[in-house]
Amino acid sequence: MLTDEQIEEMMARVRKLELKARRLVRESFSGEYLSSFRGQGMDFDDFREYQHGDEVRFIDWNVTARMNAPFIKKFREERELSVVIAVDVSGSADYGSVSLSKREIAAETAAVLGFSALQNGDKVGLLIFANEPILFIPPEKGSRHLLRMIREILVTKPTQTGTSISDACDFLVRSLRRKSVVFLISDFFSDPLDKPLGKLSKKHETIALRVLDPLEAKLPKGGKVVMIDPETGFETLVNTSNPNLRMGYSKLMKRQQEGVASLFKKHGIDAADLQTDGDTMSALHQLLKKRSRRRSG
C-alpha cells in the first residue's frame, strides 16, 4: 500500500510527464504520428466525374448511366486507430545506471505516444506485463484515461520479476479483436521471441521500442563486484578488471542485441532503441519520420 507521501510524489511525476509530453506533441510529434500510421480502412466519400488516369474499377456504373458520363467513387481514409502500448515492468525495468530507469523511459514514451494518438482522434490502451500479463486497460479516448495509464506504468509492481514477451504477445493476439497498432516497450531480454513476435505482427501493426542501459552493453572497469540479476535474484562475484571477461561480456551482449534486431527485421517490425543515457525522444522521432517517408513514398 502506498503512503500519502509516495502517492503525492508519484502524482507529481505524472503531472511533470504530462506537461513534457504535451509540449513534445505540440512541437513535433503530432504531425509525424499522423503521417506514420494508416487508418483501418476506406470509407465512401462522394462521386466525381472520371478523369484520365483514374482507376477504372472505381467507376460507378449506375451513376454513370444516369449522368451520361463516367463517374467514379471517391473514398477517404477511416482515420481512427486503436493503439495499445504494451510495457514490460519486470525486474530489469527498474534499472537505470545514469538518471532515468527503463520504467521511467517507458512511461515518458507512452505519454508522448498517448497524447499524439489522442490529439489525432485515436483510442489508446495499455497492457502491463512481466512474467505474465498483469493489467490490461482497453483502448479509450480522453486525457484522464491516459493519465491513469501513465500512473499505472510508474507504480505497478509484478509479483514475480521475470519476463515473458511470449505471454504478452499471446494475450494481445487473443484479446484485441480489431486490428490495432501495438507499441511493445521492453528490453527484450526474454525467450522465446521468434514465434510470439511473428504471431503478433501478423495480426497487428507492431512497433518495438527496445529500452537499453549503457552498462548492459559494456562493463566498466571497477574491480571485483557482486552482480545481481534483477529478474532471478542470482548473485555472482565478477572481476571487472579482467579485460577478457569484459570483452567476452560485450561480445555476448552484442550478439543478443543483433539477434533481437534480426527478428524484428524478419517479421517486418519497425523498431527503435531508447537508451537510458540518450535522447530517447529523438530516437522515437526518427522512427516516426522514417515510417512517414516510407508511407508517402
Q: What is the DSSP string of 5-32?
A: HHHHHHHHHHHHHHHHHHHHIIIIIHHH
Chain centroid to CA 176: how far? 16
- Residues in Cβ contact with 26 at an 8 Å cutoff, skipping those fewer than 6 apart: none
| Mean pLDDT score, 204-219 | 92
Q: Looking at the predicted structure, is the pLDDT value of residue 78 above 80? A: no
pLDDT category of residue 60 using cuts at 50, 70 and 90: confident
Sign of the CA dihedral with 114 first, then 36, 200, and 109 last: negative
Whole-number Å distance between alpha carbons of 61 and 70? 8
DSSP of 136-183: EEEEE-SHHHHHHHHHHHHH---SS----HHHHHHHHHHH--S--EEE
Which of 5-14, 63-72, 178-187 is modeled with the greatest confidence? 178-187
What CA–CA distance (Å, rounded) separates 78 from 276? 36
Q: With a cut of 90, say whether residue 234 has pLDDT above it.
A: no
pLDDT-derived band at 268, boundaries 50, 70, 90: very high
Least confident range from 121-130, 212-221, 226-235: namely 226-235
pTM over 0.75: yes
pLDDT at 61: 86
> Are 10 and 59 within one domain?
no
**Do 144 and 199 have their domain in common?**
yes
Whether residue 18 is found in the same domain as residue 148: yes
Which of the residue ranges 89-93, 128-132, 196-200 would you say has the lowest mean pLDDT? 89-93
**pLDDT score recorded for residue 6:** 64
pLDDT greater than 70 at residue 282? yes
Same domain (yes/no): 68, 211: no
**Of the spans 6-15, 29-38, 219-228, which averages the highest pLDDT?**
219-228
The reply to whether 68 and 146 lie within a common domain is: no
Supply the pLDDT for residue 217. Answer: 83
Residues 216 and 136 in one domain: yes
66 shares its domain with 169: no
Our measurement of the distance from residue 178's CA atom to the centroid of its chain's CA atoms, rounded to an integer in Å, reads: 18
Half-sphere exposure of 253 (CA within 13 A, CB side): 15
- Is the pLDDT score of 223 beyond 90? no
What's the structural domain count of the chain?
2
Gap between the Cα atoms of 13 and 33, Å rounded: 24
Which of 78, 102, 127 is at the close of a domain? 78
48, containing H or E segment: strand 41-49
Q: Choose the final residue of a domain: 49, 78, 107.
A: 78
Segments forming the whole domain that contains residue 222: 4-37+81-296
Last residue of a domain, one of 50, 78, 106: 78
One-letter identity of residue 42: M
Neighbour-count burial of 79, counting CB atoms closer than 10 A to its CB (0-12 exposed, 13-18 middle, 19+ buried)? middle
Q: Are residues 61 and 131 both part of a single domain? A: no
Residues 98 and 239 in one domain: yes
pLDDT in the model for residue 197: 98
Q: Worst-scoring range by mean pLDDT, 87-91, 106-110, 219-223, 239-243? A: 219-223
Answer for the pair 161, 131: CB distance below 8 angstroms, yes or no.
yes
Mean pLDDT to the nearest integer, 1-10: 65
pLDDT at 51: 79
Give the pLDDT score at 45. 58
